Chains A and B, each alone.
Chain A
Amino acid sequence: MSSYSQPTRRRHLGDKRLIQMFIIPTVVLLILMNVFPLIYSLYLSFTEYSAINPTPPEWVGLDNYKKVLSDNLYWHNFAVTGRYALISVSLQMIVGFGLAMLLKEKFKGSGLLTTLILVPMMLSPAVVGAFWKNIFNPSFGIFDQFLGYSDPNTAPEWLGDPDLALWAVVIVDVWMWSPFVMLLSLAGLSAIPDYLYEAAAIDRASAWFQFRRITLPQVMPLLLIAVLFRTIEAFKQFDLVMGLTGGGPSLLQGTQAVNVTETVSVKLFRLAMPPQAQTGLSSAMAYVVLVIIIAISNLYIRALNKVREG
C-alpha cells in the first residue's frame, strides 16, 4: 500500500513545489520593487514629506494635487511636455512613414540603407544628447554650418535661444526615433498583399485613391501602435533634455522665470531629488503624469480597436 502511495505523493508535491519555486521569487520581487513603491508613493502623494528629512510623512489630503494642478509653474511643465509630444510625434510619423514609403520597393542596397537608418535608434540617449550638444554648438558645431551660417556670431544658438531650444530637442528626438516609426510602417506596408493593388488597378483607382483607400487603412493599426509608443515615450522625455539643455534656457514669463525645455519628467526629477527633495509633492506630480498617460493610451487603444473592427 505504502509502496504505491509514496511515489504518488512525492510527484504531487513535486509539481506544486516546482510551480511555487518558479513563481514565488518573481512575485516577491514584483511586490518589493513595483507594487510596494507604487502604493507607498500613492500614500506619500497625500502627505507632506521629504525623503532626506527625519520627520515622518504628515497627511495633507489633496493639497499636493491642488498645487500641481493649479500652480502656473507646474502647468508650464505640462504645457511644454504636451507641445513637445505633439510636435515631435507628428514629425516622427511624417518622416518615418515617408521613409518607409521610399524604402518599400526593394532596390540594390535597400537592406543596407534600412539598417543604417536604424542606427540612431540603437544609441544611448545620453550619448546622443552629448554629441548633439556639440553638433548644435554655434561656433564649431556642424549643424549651423550645414544650414549655411558661417559666422558664429550670427548663427542661431539652438540650445541657448528660448525660441529654438524646444525645437532642438524635437530635431534630435525625430532624428533618433523616426527610424522606429519607419520600421513599424515598413512592416505594415510589406504586409499589404500585392493582389490588393492589382485589384485596385483593375478597379481603375488612381495612385492617390489607392494610397488613401488601401495603403493608409491597411497600415493604420501599425501606425497607431507607433503613435502610442512614441507618445508615451514623449511624455516621459527626460534623458535627451538632460543631455542637451538640462531644461533651460530660462525665459521670463510675466513675473516668473520658466525653463523652456523643462518637461514634466525633468521637473519631477528636480522636485524629487536633493536639494529640493519634495517627495510628497513629486509623488503627486508623478501620479498626475501616470493618469494622463493611461488616459492617452486608452484613447489610442480604442482607436486601434475601432480601426481593426471597423
Chain B
Amino acid sequence: MATIELINVEKKFGSSYAVKPMNMTIHSGEFVVLLGPSGCGKTTTLRMISGLEAVTDGQILFDGKDVTWLHPSDRDIAFVFQFFALYSHMTARENIAFPLQAQGEPRDSIRKRVEEVAKMLRIEHLMNARPGGLSGGDQQRVALARALVRRPAAFLMDEPLGALDAEFREAMRAEIKRLHIEQNATTVYVTHDQIEAMAMGDRVVVMSAAVVQQNGTPAEVYHDPANLFVAKFIGSPGMNLIQGHYADGKVALPGDNRYTVPADWHTAIHEAIGRDGDIILGFRPEAAHISASGPIATTVYTTDLHGSYTMLHLELDRDTIVDVRAGRGTNYPIGTPARFDLDPAMVRFFDPKTEAAIHKGGNP
C-alpha cells in the first residue's frame, strides 16, 4: 500500500485556479476524505492524483517515487467513478475481469480472482448481467469489484455513492468502510456529503474555493473548525456563529445579552483581537442547554422534533437565530421566552476580520 504525497500541487484552467497550490500527505492504509461543496477542487485533486488530469505545477509522489507525469496506467491505482463508468457492452463478470485481462493474466487465475471479489461484494448472482440491467447499488458494487480485483496500491473514489438512492447509500457506506478495513488499502475518497465524510474518514480534508480549509480527523474538524467556513459546513445544522463585541472578558451579544467568556480563553482572545474588539462566538447545538438561570435570553422561534431530540430555533433578536438541541420531554411553545447556558469546554471564538478560529493554545 502506498503513501501519497502532494507537494505544491496546483491546477489552473487559463488564469483561474481549480486547485491552489496544496500540500498533503496520505499515509499508507489511511482513509482520507476530500470534502467540500461542488466546484471546490476536490474532484480535480483526486483526478490529479490518478493522473487523469495533469497538474499545472507541483509534484505527486507515491511511496517517495515521483509519478507526476506518469500515465494513470503506470500508477497502480484503482478509480471508482461517480457514475460507475462500467463497460456497458460487457457483463458484470467481463467488467471485473477487464483489468486482469488487460495485464494478460492467465485465464485460470483471472477466473479465481474474479470469483473471490464477487464473493467479497456478494454479487455472485449478478455476474452474467449487463450494467444496464442492474440497480445503481449493484452497478457500484460491480465497479468496486473491478477496482478491487487487481489489488492496487491505492483506491481513489469520486463520490461513489453520489448517484445512489438514500437507502442504498447507507448500506454501501458501511460496505466501503468494511472493505477498507479488510483490505487496509490507502483510500482517497471525494464527497460533498459531510455526514459521509465524518462517518468514513480517518482524516477529513475540507476544501473550498480551490483551497484546503482544514485537514484533520473528523473530531477535529467538527469540534475545532479552523475557520468560519468549516464551522458552517460541518454538522447539520452547522455551528451557531453569533456576531458580538468583546470587552472586559465579556461578549456583548444581540438582544442585550452578555456572555462571560471562560477565563482560559482571555489570553488567546487578547492576542488575536485585543482587549476590545469584534468577535464571533461559535457553539454547536449540543453545547447549549436550556436553563432558567442561563445568561442568554431568547424567544422560541420554532421547534423541530427529530425523533430522539428536539431542535429549538431560538431568537436573540430579529436577525440572530441559533439552533439549540434539547430533550424531547419538554414543550417549548412558539413565542415563549427561553434562556440557555453554554458548556464552557465547547465554546469557540473566531476573528471576524480573518475568519480564522482563535486557538486557546496560541495561534499558529
A: residues with CB less than 8 A from B are 193, 195-196, 198-206, 209, 213-214, 217-218, 310
B: residues with CB less than 8 A from A are 50-52, 71-73, 77-79, 81, 83, 85-91, 98-99, 101-103, 130, 146, 150
Closest A residue to B83 using CB positions: A195
Of A199, A209, A217, A218, the residue contacting B81 (CB under 8 A) is A199
Please name the 9 residue pairs, one residue from A and one from B, whose CB atoms are nearest each other, closest first: A203-B99, A205-B102, A204-B73, A195-B85, A199-B85, A202-B79, A201-B72, A217-B89, A204-B102
What is the distance, in angstroms, from A55's C-beta to the closest C-beta of chain B?
60
* A–B Cβ pairs within 8 angstroms, 5 of them: A201-B51, A202-B79, A204-B99, A213-B90, A213-B102
Q: Which residues of chain A have C-beta atoms less than 8 A from B90's C-beta?
A: 213, 217
Q: A198-B81, A202-B78, A203-B99 are in contact. Are A214 and B87 (CB under 8 A)?
A: yes
Determine if B85 and A198 form an interchain contact, defined as CB atoms under 8 angstroms apart. Answer: yes
Of B79, B86, B102, the residue contacting A198 (CB under 8 A) is B79
Q: Which residues of chain B have C-beta atoms less than 8 A from A193's C-beta?
A: 85
Q: Which residues of chain B have C-beta atoms less than 8 A from A209's C-beta?
A: 101-102
Alpha-carbon gap, A213 to B87, bound state (A): 9
Q: A201-B73, A209-B102 are in contact. Are A218 and B50 (CB under 8 A)?
A: no
Closest A residue to B86 using CB positions: A199
Q: Which residues of chain A have C-beta atoms less than 8 A from B52's C-beta?
A: 198, 201-202
Alpha-carbon gap, A203 to B75, bound state (A): 10
Of B51, B87, B91, the residue contacting A196 (CB under 8 A) is B87
Q: Which residues of chain B have C-beta atoms less than 8 A from A199's C-beta?
A: 79, 81, 85-87, 146
What is the distance, in angstroms, from B82's C-beta to the closest C-beta of chain A?
9
Determine if B98 and A310 form an interchain contact, defined as CB atoms under 8 angstroms apart. Answer: no
Of A200, A202, A214, A310, the residue contacting B130 (CB under 8 A) is A310
Closest A residue to B147 using CB positions: A202
Q: Which residues of chain B have C-beta atoms less than 8 A from A310's C-beta?
A: 89, 91, 130
Q: A195-B83, A214-B87, A310-B91 are in contact. Are A202 and B50 (CB under 8 A)?
A: yes
Alpha-carbon gap, A217 to B87, bound state (A): 10
Q: Which residues of chain A have C-beta atoms less than 8 A from B78's C-beta?
A: 202
Determine if A202 and B89 form an interchain contact, defined as CB atoms under 8 angstroms apart. Answer: no
Alpha-carbon gap, A218 to B91, bound state (A): 14
Alpha-carbon gap, A201 to B86, bound state (A): 13
Q: Which residues of chain A have C-beta atoms less than 8 A from B87's C-beta?
A: 196, 199, 213-214
Q: Which residues of chain B have C-beta atoms less than 8 A from A201's C-beta?
A: 51-52, 71-73
Alpha-carbon gap, A213 to B86, bound state (A): 13
Q: Which residues of chain A have C-beta atoms less than 8 A from B81's C-beta?
A: 195, 198-199
Closest B residue to A218 using CB positions: B89
Q: Which residues of chain B have C-beta atoms less than 8 A from A218's C-beta?
A: 88-89
What is the distance, in angstroms, from B132's C-beta to the closest C-beta of chain A?
10
Q: Which residues of chain A have C-beta atoms less than 8 A from B101's C-beta?
A: 209, 213
What is the distance, in angstroms, from B36's C-beta to the closest C-beta of chain A?
22
Alpha-carbon gap, A200 to B98, bound state (A): 8
Of A198, A203, A214, the residue contacting B146 (CB under 8 A) is A203
Determine if B98 and A202 form an interchain contact, defined as CB atoms under 8 angstroms apart. Answer: no
What is the distance, in angstroms, from A76's C-beta to the closest C-beta of chain B?
42
What is the distance, in angstroms, from A17's C-beta to the closest C-beta of chain B?
46
Determine if B73 and A202 form an interchain contact, defined as CB atoms under 8 angstroms apart. Answer: yes
Determine if A205 and B77 form an interchain contact, defined as CB atoms under 8 angstroms apart. Answer: no
Q: A196-B85, A217-B89, A310-B130 are in contact. Are A202 and B102 (CB under 8 A)?
A: no
Of B51, B88, B91, B98, the residue contacting A205 (CB under 8 A) is B98
Q: Which residues of chain A have C-beta atoms less than 8 A from B103's C-beta?
A: 204
Closest A residue to B103 using CB positions: A204
What is the distance, in angstroms, from B146's C-beta to the closest C-beta of chain A?
7
Alpha-carbon gap, A202 to B148, bound state (A): 12
Of A195, A198, A206, A213, the residue contacting B98 (CB under 8 A) is A213
Alpha-carbon gap, A106 to B83, bound state (A): 25
Q: Which residues of chain A have C-beta atoms less than 8 A from B102's C-beta?
A: 200, 203-206, 209, 213
Alpha-carbon gap, A217 to B103, bound state (A): 20
What is the distance, in angstroms, from B186's C-beta to the closest C-beta of chain A?
15
Residue of B52, B77, B89 ringed by the most chain A CB atoms within 10 A: B89
What is the distance, in angstroms, from B182's C-beta to the closest C-beta of chain A?
21
Alpha-carbon gap, A199 to B146, bound state (A): 10
Q: Which residues of chain B have C-beta atoms less than 8 A from A204's C-beta?
A: 73, 99, 102-103, 150
What is the distance, in angstroms, from A120's C-beta to the closest C-beta of chain B?
32
Q: Which residues of chain B have C-beta atoms less than 8 A from A214's C-beta?
A: 87
Q: Which residues of chain A have C-beta atoms less than 8 A from B72's C-beta?
A: 198, 201-202
Alpha-carbon gap, A303 to B356, bound state (A): 65
Q: Which residues of chain B have C-beta atoms less than 8 A from A200's C-beta?
A: 98, 102
Q: Which residues of chain B have C-beta atoms less than 8 A from A196's C-beta?
A: 85, 87-88
Closest A residue to B82 using CB positions: A195
Alpha-carbon gap, A201 to B73, bound state (A): 5
Of B91, B98, B130, the residue contacting A203 (CB under 8 A) is B98
Q: Which residues of chain B have C-beta atoms less than 8 A from A195's C-beta?
A: 81, 83, 85
What is the distance, in angstroms, from A10's C-beta to the closest C-beta of chain B?
51
Closest B residue to A195 using CB positions: B85
Q: Which residues of chain A have C-beta atoms less than 8 A from B150's C-beta?
A: 203-204
Closest B residue to A205 using CB positions: B102
Q: Which residues of chain A have C-beta atoms less than 8 A from B88's C-beta?
A: 196, 218
Q: Which residues of chain A have C-beta atoms less than 8 A from B86's C-beta?
A: 199
What is the distance, in angstroms, from A48's C-beta to the closest C-beta of chain B?
54
What is the distance, in angstroms, from A57's C-beta to the closest C-beta of chain B?
53
Q: Which residues of chain B have C-beta atoms less than 8 A from A203's C-beta?
A: 73, 98-99, 102, 146, 150
Q: Which residues of chain A have C-beta atoms less than 8 A from B85's C-beta?
A: 193, 195-196, 198-199
| Other A-B pairs beyond A196-B87, A204-B150, 4, CB < 8 Å | A193-B85, A199-B81, A213-B101, A310-B89
Closest A residue to B73 using CB positions: A204
What is the distance, in angstroms, from A190's C-beta to the closest C-beta of chain B?
16
Closest B residue to A213 using CB positions: B98
Closest A residue to B146 using CB positions: A203
Q: Which residues of chain A have C-beta atoms less than 8 A from B83's C-beta?
A: 195
Alpha-carbon gap, A209 to B85, bound state (A): 17
Q: Which residues of chain B have C-beta atoms less than 8 A from A217's C-beta?
A: 89-90
